[in-house]
Structure 1
């Protein structure tokens, strides 16, 4: 074999290796993940429909009851170099209840790493508020808290995340009012958001127009927690909102008391106290939620839940001021 032919074969081999490496690199930068959740729910009250706290959009105004679909979502992300994009598409009653934006978009944004510590994002992203999120995969409880339902759920705008160290971070955002029902700003009003995080404890502030007709709404939120023991975790969420224009708001707090008994089983209690304010009138509700999480496989978990809601000020369901709900949910995640 001639030296020229050997040289050509070496060049061809090198080229093919580079092409294969480039293809593998591109494939690794593209990722898919998502989840599916379904449930059955009821209550133990006579002549009352529904089970409180199930996040499901409906036209009748009644809470979810019987067998139901949660949501199916697919998250597509691509990252290369300093930039990337995320498209989170969600379908189903849970997605519709939590996200009133255009179509079935849960999140849709692009991001750019300006430095090793600074990331800029533009588009629609889920809120940085609160302990719970829209997708049940990342929630310990299947039913959602009153604090979660009070919103906001998502924001459309620009944000800057700055990671000072492994322990300390800051975030600044300018967004449309979260109550707008389309992915564009038709009111020419805005909200400003800020977050500071330190060792897993986060303090959040949002101020501005809410998209529901009020221009001076203030939201304050603390989300955090700590490990009391190797197996027992205490999560905390407290929030406050007020508007002088609306002459009202809300405040409340919830604890997330969770004990892990094994690699596949955990039990948790979520006590929550929530109050809405309007003028000189306050309306409060107490909710106690006991949830058992069991992982059947790496991807499939089931949640059995008993929830008791009571109020001296407002009916919880129909005319009932005390309601016990029972829910069984199955959640499958893929990635």
Structure 2
């Protein structure tokens, strides 16, 4: 009886030990596709995790989509070249960067989607986020080479932005922490500009080498790391947000536009139909998986409550010259989750 018990116990231990890697391993895959349709291209997708809504700029309009069903909840018109959306639930407003014309930011009501006004900004208004530490909406002007800021309760018809902060390069996307610092990719200079939002000064410019042409930007506030998606060469750079030291350089696909951090993983979405998943093991970063996504799925938003990733794209015409054009009416949202 004693021998039998020992054998059973040993067998149970071996089985459990063999099962541990399987339990611990998590794979990401495309789980759903919402076929939305509608006209226009797409750029940065913003997730409202509290209400499970997706805000997707579509060139001349911005669509609001239910993240659970794919149903279109609203469509905000009045843009020339829409790029990004920042939402500030505490004031019930959303803000859309419009890079066309002289530049502007459309202010809309988060519940009704009604346009409240349009704030004049600098040309090529692009990436936009909200920083709760300073109570400011932050947006960048690519052609103007500047960071623009304003309070979210701004007068949407007659209000003016704060004096812009000159960056010394062409910004693409940005992140900000709870100490009042902003980190901005300068695509043409291959550096990250560090801005003190209170003194409104550039404190440093950190090189992204061995990466180049940085576009995607995400901040992990817990580990004080920046994850930077670079196009030339194609790299995800892991950088300390405290010192600017490059801690890792990982291969990614072609045409990256966005990087995100969620569930202790970093993600890079690329135009070539690849979503790179990176993680840290024994103090070193490594690529854990490359998820196959449809071509053109170069931007994304993440819902940290449901641990889902949303990537906008469309069926693409065969490329003749330059970037392939989307087929009319084929716009979709691809959902990636764990299994």
TM range (shorter): 0.3 to 0.5
Structure with more of its chain in helix, by fraction:
1
Q: Compare CA radii of gyration and give the structure with the larger one.
A: 1
Q: Identify the structure with the greater strand proportion.
A: 1
TM-score, structure 1 as length reference: 0.35
